[in-house]
Amino acid sequence: MKREESTGSFGTEVYKKIFRPVLFRFPPEMVHGLVLEGLNVSSAVGLGGLFRKYLSVRDEALQVSLATDSGRLDFPNPVGLAAGFDKDASAAGALEGLGFGFLEVGTLTPRPQKGNPRPRLRRFPADSALWNRMGFNNIGAERVASRFPRRRRLGIPVGFNIGKAKNTPLEAAAGDYLKSVELLFPWADFFVLNVSSPNTAGLRELQAAAVLERLLKAVRRRMEELALKSNRAGRPALFVKVSPDESSPDTLAETVLRGGAAGIVATNTTVRRDGLSGPVPPDGGVSGRPLRERSTDMLRRLYRASRGRLFLIGVGGVFTAEDAYEKVLAGASLVEVYTGLVYEGPALARDINRGLLTLLKRDGFSSVREAVGKGVKI
């Protein structure tokens, strides 16, 4: 199971040689807003179907499903969009057209929040990295919930990543998570409790075993009550998003299992600064290439600790099919991308899916499902 780097597809090379140099001349947050708007406009004028035709890879070998105690989630392919890219769920329909197998939108807090002052997002192209201290800028779960009913239902699972508002004291954090769950429950295929952003003071303390177990149990209980009251079939699945800087993945895995969640999203950005050639601000989190090994290492340790009993989503530095495959072998059933999309462009999900099919075949696996965790000795 060798690790070889492949070059991107023609579309990706065009993006990197022509579009990226132009986009990278402008401030990253401005470009991000324009890209989301551009996606929405192209989808509104009917280009969504065309994108989907060229960028969706359909193959049984790529399909992954998650059986929960309340139903089943089917993912047409294992490549999803990571949280933070579409914080307000404003471009979900258009993003589906890029060939993703699922979307994680948010982080959402119950009410709108401005986030930290700008600049709060920077590129580090020499290291294929991003640095951010956004601080959960979002329009609030309330508004997202109010406009979701008008949306057509997507053909892929959509999860909501939810967090604590800046002004909510840490002791009252559970209230924010419960409120967002209530608001978004009818539209969620899964929820991800974000307890790992480095840009909300104290948030990472919610990863402490006793606190996290209590939080998970409270959310589970609330979802059971909501399921009884509503007419939706099955409850959304529950995940926890963890930091790559935690020193005890064994305790984390045990806690998440005891709390009754389906799995873990591993990982958020890192507060470490190794692997970077230039000076990076001391606060905030780093994503992209410098994070890859660190987050894959966390994933592997979570897989080993849970002996395969947790459904793991690997995120951090996925730029190629090889990166994604490495995460699958380390225990991920699904992967997500954010920084890779910025550096590799809109054909990334397709390139990864196509590449995965080749890598699976090379190593004699008949599907992604079969390869999960095969690189880990338990």
> How large is the greatest C-alpha to C-alpha distance in the chain, in angstroms?
54
Among 123, 235, 241, 300, binds ligand FMN (CB under 6 A): 241
Among 56, 77, 132, 320, binds ligand FMN (CB under 6 A): 132
- Positive or negative: CA dihedral 42, 45, 51, 52: positive
Whole-number Å distance between alpha carbons of 215 and 239: 12
Query: How is residue 105 written in tokens?
Result: 């939108």
Site for ligand FMN in 158-187 (CB under 6 A): 161
Whole-number Å distance between alpha carbons of 229 and 223: 10
Whole-number Å distance between alpha carbons of 174 and 177: 5
Nearest distance from residue 290's CB to ligand FMN, in Å?
9
* 51/343 with CB nearer ligand FMN: 343
The reply to whether 317 sits near ligand FMN by the rule CB under 6 A is yes
3-state helix vs strand vs coil in the chain, percent to 5: 45, 15, 40
Residues in the chain: 378
Among 64, 145, 212, 291, binds ligand FMN (CB under 6 A): 291
Nearest distance from residue 317's CB to ligand FMN, in Å?
5
Contacts 24+ apart (CB under 8 A), 43-52: 43/91, 43/93, 43/94, 43/97, 47/97, 48/93, 48/94, 48/96, 48/97, 49/97, 51/97, 51/98, 51/99, 51/346, 52/96, 52/97, 52/99
- Contact range with ligand FMN by CB under 6 A, out of 13-21, 72-80, 338-346, 351-359: 338-346
Nearest distance from residue 244's CB to ligand FMN, in Å?
8
Query: How is residue 114 written in tokens?
Result: 């401005």
180 is catalytic: no
* 97/316 with CB nearer ligand FMN: 316
The reply to whether 197 sits near ligand FMN by the rule CB under 6 A is yes
What letter does residue 270 receive in the DSSP assignment? B
Number of residues in contact with ligand FMN, rule: CB under 6 A? 27
Among 12, 90, 107, 255, binds ligand FMN (CB under 6 A): 107
Query: How is residue 254 written in tokens?
Result: 């045990």
* 39/365 with CB nearer ligand FMN: 39
Q: Which residue type occupies 157?
A: P
- Contact range with ligand FMN by CB under 6 A, out of 132-140, 152-160, 304-312, 350-358: 132-140
- Contact range with ligand FMN by CB under 6 A, out of 13-21, 337-345, 348-356, 363-371: 337-345
The reply to whether 113 sits near ligand FMN by the rule CB under 6 A is no
Pick the catalytic residue: 180, 197, 287, 295? 197
The reply to whether 82 sits near ligand FMN by the rule CB under 6 A is yes
Burial class (CB in 10 A: 0-12, 13-18, 19+), 80: buried
Nearest distance from residue 275's CB to ligand FMN, in Å?
12
b/e sequence 344-378, b meaning 16+ C-beta within 10 Å? bbbbbbbbbbbbbbebbeeeebebbeebbbebbee
Among 84, 236, 249, 345, binds ligand FMN (CB under 6 A): 84
Question: Where in the sequence numbering do the catalytic residues fall?
Answer: 197
Interacting residues toward ligand FMN by CB under 6 A: 82-84, 87, 107, 121, 130, 132, 134, 136, 161, 194, 197, 241, 268-269, 287-288, 291, 315-318, 337-340
